[in-house]
Amino acid sequence: MALTIRPGGLADTELLLELFDEAVAWMVARGQPEQWGSEPWSAQPERVRRVRGLTRTGLSVAELDGEPVGALVVGAAPAYVPPPERPELYVNLLLTSRRHAGRAIGADLVRVAVAQARAAGHDVVRVDCYAGAPALVAWYERQGFRRCGTFDVNGWPGQIFTMSVDPSAGG
């Protein structure tokens, strides 16, 4: 199966909601509802609006032989993290299908973010994730990110990561 990455847009709202719903079901089954709750995102109007917003700019969709299996949204840092010290690209969403776990889809999407940062002349990629999931934190570290701070949004603990990028490097 060949992985391709394509630009996304508003028409991809439903597929993003499906990926979120799949992730929520997987986390609940693991006894880990703290990250995104236990209710499907598609059933929550505020989260549906949030997902629509994510589709408006910086969305890339990963597909395996035409089947959507992941999404990446990059852009400016959200208000809940400290502002960047250097030109950066912020990963606002990195989401992959659990049905295709182990295929390095997330790692491929990280490489897309790094390439986009280079192309824009940025020398940093930052991302955050739920700090209450040690395996997720370790995954970001295996991708080459390093921890650079934490935050709390209404009791939701977050871990911020950074990765230096040489904008003059190819690829």
What is the per-residue pLDDT for 1? 67
Gap between the Cα atoms of 55 and 36, Å rounded = 19
Render pLDDT for 62-110 as a digit per residue (tens, 0 to 9).
999 889 999 999 999 999 999 988 899 999 999 999 888 888 999 999 9
Strand order in the sheet with 88-96: 3-7, 59-64, 67-75, 88-96, 124-130, 156-164, 146-153
What is the per-residue pLDDT for 80? 93
Separation in Å, CA 80 to CA 90, 106, 128, 148, 154: 12, 23, 10, 14, 11
Gap between the Cα atoms of 110 and 143, Å rounded = 8
Render pLDDT for 11-36 as a digit per residue (tens, 0 to 9).
999 999 999 999 999 999 988 888 89
pTM of the model: 0.93
pLDDT (mean) for 129-153: 95
What are the φ and ψ backbone dihedral angles of 51, each rounded to 5 degrees?
Answer: -65, -40
Gap between the Cα atoms of 154 and 94, Å rounded = 22
Q: Could you tell me if 59 and 68 are in contact, meaning their C-beta atoms sit under 8 angstroms apart?
A: no
What's the pLDDT band for 170 if we cut at 50, 70, 90?
Answer: low
Pick 3-8+57-164's CATH classification: 3.80.10.10, 3.40.50.40, 3.40.630.30, 3.55.40.20: 3.40.630.30
pLDDT (mean) for 123-141: 95
